[in-house]
Structure 1
Amino acid sequence: MPKPQGPALSDATRGRLLFGGDYNPEQWPEEVWHEDVRLMKDAGVNSVTLGVFSWSRLEPEPGAREFGWLDRLMDLMHDSGIGVVLATPTSSPPPWMGRLHPDTLPVTEDGRTEWWGGRQHFSHSSATYRRYAAAITEDLAARYGGHPGLTMWHINNEYCTFDHGDEAAASFRRWLRERYGTLDALNEAWGTAFWSQGYDTWDGILPARQPHYMRNPSQVLDFRRFTSDMLLECFVAERDIVRRHTPHIPVTSNFMPLWFGQDAWRWAGEEDVVSVDLYPDPRDPLGAQDGALVQDMTRSQARGPWMLMEQAAGPVNWRGVNHPKPRGLNRLWSLQAVARGADAVCYFQWRQSRQGAEKFHSGMVSHAGEQGRTYQEVKQLGADLARIAPEVSGRHSTADVAVLHDWHAWWAGAQDGRLSHEVEHADVLRTWHRALWQAHLTTDFAHPEHDLTAYRLVVVPQLYLLTDAAIDNLLAYVRGGGTLVCGFLTGVADQDDRVREGGMDARLRELFGIRTLHEWWPLDPGEGVACEGFRGTLWSEELEADGTADETVAYKGGELDGLPAVLRKGGAWYVSTLPEPDALRDLLARIATGAGVRPVLDGLPEQIEAVRRGELLFVLNHGREPVTVEVPGTHRDLLTGADVTDRVTLGRYDAAILRP
């Protein structure tokens, strides 16, 4: 993917770590604003995001502009030494827009209109919505582009709208014409000979609306591609407006973690700064690994430092049970993000709301106020970030391992008529990343068509769909001396979701030493399959080896007795089941060692995470008990200022940042 062409995150940070969050002062009397500034300065806040949900305040009726309050806020923040990330408010249109222009409202797959009264209630294909969005963006950019407090633009918020309405249908047809050119090409790509679905006119094509029975999976795949592209068009339109006024100011839009609806590889190439919102569950014993996955993916999309746009200082409000973060966990997870490349640590939101749908979602200042534990921990974190910023900001993290992920493969594999609804792409991805994380191996993420030559080990948890270019890329990587390990159900379909002859691309079968893939054998929930040395879960495959493999691990018992569960041919491994967690960790650790990949530190306790960022070593204790970690040599701990020789002791949820 191309690197962003505009200003970089460093243009906004200037040797600092940005610290702050979404600030929604329109919810409060103006006298509270000055109290907020006092608390922000005490906590070390140096950045706030304004205007994310302010459209009805800025444009209370069509064409009106109420900028006075925002003028005062921009000046107040700048005078207080706090930079502003100014958002376009286009994720939440005012009620008057839906009332006067119902064409701006999205329609669900079964024909229901999604009304105003919440947020994200806009059709990405609506010309009316786009016109109003461009107008408010133009006026914001013209008014504040020259303001000295402006440090970054934030376009919209968490793009996530699907639309199946009539205007989206017309846009879908135009998109398909550009992609295929002719109806014959579309009918071939979609396999419309099945179930008498052949189209004789473009006007007969609909979005992936709810049919009587299962939908055409290739149509659904293209509709998901189209949706990502339409949302990207909305982003680019607003981005180009603000860039025209302020070419020197970086632009971002915040991703949701591992979100199904956006091809984030493509999106990242259009952003100056890649940012993400991250909300691991504090009660999840693997919450830190979930955070590490998202951080690794975001750093890889950014190809350098990135921005943690949102996290929670305490509980959220959208889980079935919303638990607060125990003492120290907010600091630990924030430092984990910095370890994995973040140059900005921010929150939703600054002050916890007293009304509205998110009044029980935490803020940096909770309902308990200045004396509350949440704010006091935020103050400690602000001091930590200010202390380490000169040594950390702008430094890059590197990894010898790449995990491959592609949204198109995810979309294609999520079809209704798949072999097992127990197999979810994102869950398989998390499981493989978790195994690497528990083996203390730091990973990048990459698209299967990216240049992989810098990596000693490339891991493919599952890529059901692989283009010819991606397959050629994997083959070239192995021929060049790289080590490749692929999970089950990989290379099954081409870019149109057409099953490749033999059930797996012939080039891949030759690569792994597979003569025939006879059958896929999905497993029921809780069912396992015995293999030599471990137990497989979720999936298995009836494979016939071609006799060229250098190493095999066989299934034991049952229908697949004696057939290969794992094959290695040269530097290429294929794993046809999902080993239980410890077994997968051990297998990947062994493969990594053979590829010359080692953890940052040897002999790490299970609850310890060690990551290098530049020459700095981050050591993080994800456990509740103190632990001593061997760190050979003498270091300075940037958090405490103390010298550390050969070992460091960390308390519960504690961290050390060591400089040689």
Structure 2
Amino acid sequence: MTHERPAHRWIRWPNDPDRPRFGYGADYNPEQWPREVWEEDLRLMEEAGVTIVSLGIFSWARIQTGPDTWDFSWLDELMDRLHESGIAVDLATATTSPPPWLVTAHPEVLPVSHSGRTVWPGSRQHWRPTSPVFREHALRLTRALAERYGRHPALAAWHVSNELGCHNLYDYSDDAAAAFRAWLRRRYGDLDTLNEAWGTAFWSQHYTDWNQILPPRAAAFIPNPTQDLDFTRFSNDALLEHLRAERDLLRRITPEIPVTTNFMVNHHTRDLDYVRWAHEVDFVANDHYVRLDETGRDELSFSANLTSGLARGRPWFLMEHSTSAVNWKPVNLAKREGQLHRDSLLHLAHGADAVCFFQWRQSRAGAEKYHSAMVPHAGPDSRVFRDVVELGRLLREDLAEVAGSERLPARAAVVFDYQSWRAVERPSLPSEEIDYHREALEWYQTFLDLGIRADIVPVDGGWDEYDLVVAPLLHMVPGHLADRVNRYADRGGHLVTTYFSGTVDADDHVYLGGHPGAFRDLLGIRVEEFSPLPEGVAVPLDTGGSGDLWTEEATVTGRDVQTLARYGDGPLRGRPALTLRRIPGGGTASYTTTRLSARARRGFLLRITDEAGVGSELPEPLRGCVELAVRTAEGAEYWFLSNRTDEGVVLADLPGTPLTGTAGAHLPPDGVAVLRVERP
């Protein structure tokens, strides 16, 4: 996988297309409302400063009312009216949820669950990614939309489907089984290679004919791990193939219009490989919903940072987030005052050049009627709408010059690997308590606590350029990645990795000879056996702080290896918990054999950042209290300063000219300030 930048074509703004500007708007679902409401919508959009809406996302049943009957009249009217109002359209292909007439005529497009049950209509995304029947009908609709609206002056971008794989990533139907076998033939070529990769000598699973292979449907016990992993990869690729099919058709008919789809980069979407998806769209778009808990603010920053990493630092589109409460949690809390602006500006800080919400007007009926919107049930005379109007003014006036700028790379990075995330959270591992995303987020939070900027970079990205790289739980390490990690340290880079890293290859086969396998020589340590800890058990470290979740009985085997911390109690008392090996080229390679507490991780990272010469750009009093993210354009940097605390912070001793607020301003809880800093 190359770590070159994916292609990038931005929104085609209908008026003055070369002028950078921020997109601002929402999913717009006018088909839910009578025409008299449309007039009020357009008036309120103008008041709010809306510049773009995503249109037609769930409108297949309204556009195509039968196999050969179409109704474009309402969409024609809205496209024209939006254009007259100066609002661009991100037009969806509307293929995300098939209409009742289609699934009634062709029930074979419906997915089949792991246990063999049909997934029936009545919700959304009730279609098989591998169904040739569904593909035929979806492409017919896509073609009809492209031919009708491809030259419409309001059209700014194509929006393929919606949140692909949110509910239909895994399908275990016969269509999926046939497509899975074809995928495996391409991957392995012959059955001998597949049998070796899957380790089918275990439990008498040896295959002698391709037709014997099935998706990993409900089984008596633990399924074959590599078969299960390959089905995850295949399922990702099946959806990616659908994206390509719609995209390629759109590009043939409307080559000048950029094409995207909305990713779901967050704390729980694990099995979609957005590193690869980013190369298939003209610009990256993401949907993100903040967690209203103690990690929510930092998790939002982490996800926005990772989205920027997928976009390789170039502008991206926040397609959906919420103005206030969502509707799909056990308890759905409203955002407090200031959080609507904070969440939007944090995404902006990490490179978003379009900030949009789900949705424009809060629904009266349906499954998401209690999900917040730009125009709430209370109407425009509400705090939410007043906040929406003020955010539109900020983007249009105070922050206009920031549009088009790119992320300024930090000197430190956290490497994020979707393959390892999948691999460490599967059955039959030493511990089911491993949480890949949490581990990566906690290292990122420690950088934030130290006031040090760090980028989140995909494992195939250009992390070689950073002075310091933390690669937590880098568990699945193909040979080429192991070589790359070794070269990074040999050239003077400072590497940190953690427990359960370097353990298996791309086929999920364990590297023999002792752990951490692929990194054993680089780190200069050897582990014979893993020793995970029960939930709630922690072991003290002799340098302060503790470790939990996992321990390893490590032995130092290499030269120039220092033990930075040892276990202070328990059966591993005196054994290395943290090690550092000095590499002849000036780099270092560090390893932690446990999940470090916040205190231990902070002390360790302070030492490693000092080794790497990486420090904070913030004045001492602001470190940890304020997050700094920086965008850059010719002649200027834009410093986004976000308050991470629940108390006010005074911004003092900072360079630059305020674009929001005033010099030495008091930054309230959830507040974000932006400074313009001249570059020499």
Instruction: Report the 3-state secondary structure (helix = DSSP H, G, I; strand = E; otherwise coil) of the residue aligned with 1:453.
Output: helix
Deviations 1:84-131 (A, max 9, x none): 000111111112222211111111111011111000111000000000
Residue in structure 1 matched with residue 485 of structure 2 by the alignment = 474
Deviations 1:242-272 (A, max 9, x none): 1112222211111112412211100001111
Structure 1 distance, partners of 2:554, 2:594, is 11
Residue in structure 1 matched with residue 610 of structure 2 by the alignment = 593
Residue in structure 1 matched with residue 585 of structure 2 by the alignment = none
- Relative distance call for 1:101 and 1:13 in structure 2 (3 A) is farther
Q: Is the 8 A contact 1:493 1:504 kept in 2?
A: no
Matched, 1:3 2:5: yes
Residue in structure 2 matched with residue 108 of structure 1 by the alignment = 113
Residue in structure 1 matched with residue 368 of structure 2 by the alignment = 358
- Relative distance call for 1:445 and 1:624 in structure 2 (3 A) is closer
Deviations 1:152-188 (A, max 9, x none): 1111111112101101000000000010010111000
- Relative distance call for 1:346 and 1:455 in structure 2 (3 A) is same
Structure 1 distance, partners of 2:385, 2:626, is 27
Deviates more, 1:298-307 or 1:398-407: 398-407
Matched, 1:292 2:309: no
Q: CA RMSD in A?
A: 1.6
Please point out which of 426, 439, 464 is paired with 1:453.
464
Residue in structure 2 matched with residue 616 of structure 1 by the alignment = 638
Instruction: Report the 3-state secondary structure (helix = DSSP H, G, I; strand = E; otherwise coil) of the residue aligned with 1:369.
Output: coil
- Relative distance call for 1:529 and 1:624 in structure 2 (3 A) is closer
Residue 3 of structure 1, CA deviation: 3.3
Residue in structure 2 matched with residue 41 of structure 1 by the alignment = 46
Instruction: Report the 3-state secondary structure (helix = DSSP H, G, I; strand = E; otherwise coil) of the residue aligned with 2:80.
Output: helix
Deviations 1:329-356 (A, max 9, x none): 1101111111111101100000000000
Q: Is the 8 A contact 2:97 2:125 kept in 1?
A: yes
Structure 2 distance, partners of 1:401, 1:388, is 30
- Relative distance call for 1:507 and 1:226 in structure 2 (3 A) is closer
Please point out which of 143, 168, 174 is paired with 1:166.
174
Matched, 1:625 2:647: yes
Deviates more, 1:108-117 or 1:541-550: 541-550
Q: After the TM superposition, which residues 435-446 of structure 1 pair with which residues of structure 2 at under 5 Å, given as runs?
A: 435-446=446-457
Please point out which of 229, 233, 243 is paired with 1:225.
233
Instruction: Report the 3-state secondary structure (helix = DSSP H, G, I; strand = E; otherwise coil) of the residue aligned with 1:543.
Output: strand
Residue 389 of structure 1, CA deviation: 4.1
Matched, 1:606 2:628: no
Structure 2 distance, partners of 1:239, 1:43, is 32
Residue in structure 2 matched with residue 267 of structure 1 by the alignment = 277
Structure 1 distance, partners of 2:530, 2:289, is 36
Please point out which of 332, 346, 349 is paired with 1:339.
349
Structure 2 distance, partners of 1:650, 1:287, is 19
The code of the aligned residue for 1:617 comes to: W
Structure 1 distance, partners of 2:551, 2:160, is 44
Residue 6 of structure 1, CA deviation: 5.5
Residue in structure 1 matched with residue 513 of structure 2 by the alignment = 502
Matched, 1:541 2:552: yes
Residue 651 of structure 1, CA deviation: 2.4
Q: Is the 8 A contact 2:222 2:428 kept in 1?
A: yes
Residue in structure 1 matched with residue 573 of structure 2 by the alignment = 561
The code of the aligned residue for 1:425 comes to: Y
The code of the aligned residue for 1:608 comes to: V
Structure 1 distance, partners of 2:297, 2:212, is 48
Structure 2 distance, partners of 1:506, 1:606, is 36
Structure 2 distance, partners of 1:228, 1:14, is 36
Please point out which of 89, 92, 112 is paired with 2:94.
89
The code of the aligned residue for 1:91 comes to: T
- If the length of structure 1 is used for normalisation, what is the TM-score? 0.96
Deviations 1:497-541 (A, max 9, x none): 000113435551111111x31110111111011212220011110
Residue in structure 2 matched with residue 380 of structure 1 by the alignment = 390
Deviates more, 1:446-455 or 1:483-492: 446-455
Residue in structure 2 matched with residue 189 of structure 1 by the alignment = 197
Q: Is the 8 A contact 1:289 1:434 kept in 2?
A: yes
Structure 2 distance, partners of 1:593, 1:383, is 42
- If the length of structure 2 is used for normalisation, what is the TM-score? 0.94
Q: Is the 8 A contact 2:424 2:434 kept in 1?
A: no
Residue 2 of structure 1, CA deviation: 4.3
Q: Is the 8 A contact 1:629 1:648 kept in 2?
A: yes
Matched, 1:315 2:337: no
Identity of counterpart residues, as a percentage? Answer: 43
- Relative distance call for 1:384 and 1:123 in structure 2 (3 A) is same
Structure 2 distance, partners of 1:237, 1:499, is 37
Gapped runs of 5+ residues in structure 1? Answer: none
Gapped runs of 5+ residues in structure 2? Answer: 583-587
The code of the aligned residue for 1:62 comes to: P
Q: Is the 8 A contact 1:16 1:389 kept in 2?
A: no
The code of the aligned residue for 1:540 comes to: T
**Which 4+ stretches in 1 moved above 6 angstroms?**
10-13
Deviations 1:469-497 (A, max 9, x none): 11100000000100000011001000000
Q: Is the 8 A contact 2:423 2:475 kept in 1?
A: yes
Structure 2 distance, partners of 1:343, 1:260, is 25
Residue 10 of structure 1, CA deviation: 7.6
Q: Is the 8 A contact 1:15 1:389 kept in 2?
A: no
The code of the aligned residue for 1:267 comes to: W
Q: Is the 8 A contact 1:600 1:611 kept in 2?
A: no
Q: Is the 8 A contact 2:639 2:676 kept in 1?
A: yes
Deviates more, 1:153-162 or 1:580-589: 580-589
Instruction: Report the 3-state secondary structure (helix = DSSP H, G, I; strand = E; otherwise coil) of the residue aligned with 2:641.
Output: strand
The code of the aligned residue for 2:7 comes to: Q
Residue 627 of structure 1, CA deviation: 1.6
Q: Is the 8 A contact 2:616 2:623 kept in 1?
A: no
Q: Is the 8 A contact 1:448 1:474 kept in 2?
A: no
Instruction: Report the 3-state secondary structure (helix = DSSP H, G, I; strand = E; otherwise coil) of the residue aligned with 2:327.
Output: coil
Deviations 1:222-242 (A, max 9, x none): 000000000000001001111
Q: Is the 8 A contact 2:502 2:518 kept in 1?
A: no
Q: Is the 8 A contact 1:600 1:612 kept in 2?
A: no
Instruction: Report the 3-state secondary structure (helix = DSSP H, G, I; strand = E; otherwise coil) of the residue aligned with 2:5.
Output: coil
Residue in structure 1 matched with residue 30 of structure 2 by the alignment = 25
Residue 9 of structure 1, CA deviation: 4.7
Deviates more, 1:422-431 or 1:455-464: 422-431
Deviations 1:617-639 (A, max 9, x none): 11122334322122334x32112
Structure 2 distance, partners of 1:69, 1:608, is 48
Residue in structure 2 matched with residue 390 of structure 1 by the alignment = 400
Deviations 1:349-371 (A, max 9, x none): 00000000000000100001010
Q: Is the 8 A contact 1:631 1:648 kept in 2?
A: no
The code of the aligned residue for 1:187 comes to: N
Instruction: Report the 3-state secondary structure (helix = DSSP H, G, I; strand = E; otherwise coil) of the residue aligned with 2:608.
Output: helix
Structure 2 distance, partners of 1:133, 1:125, is 12
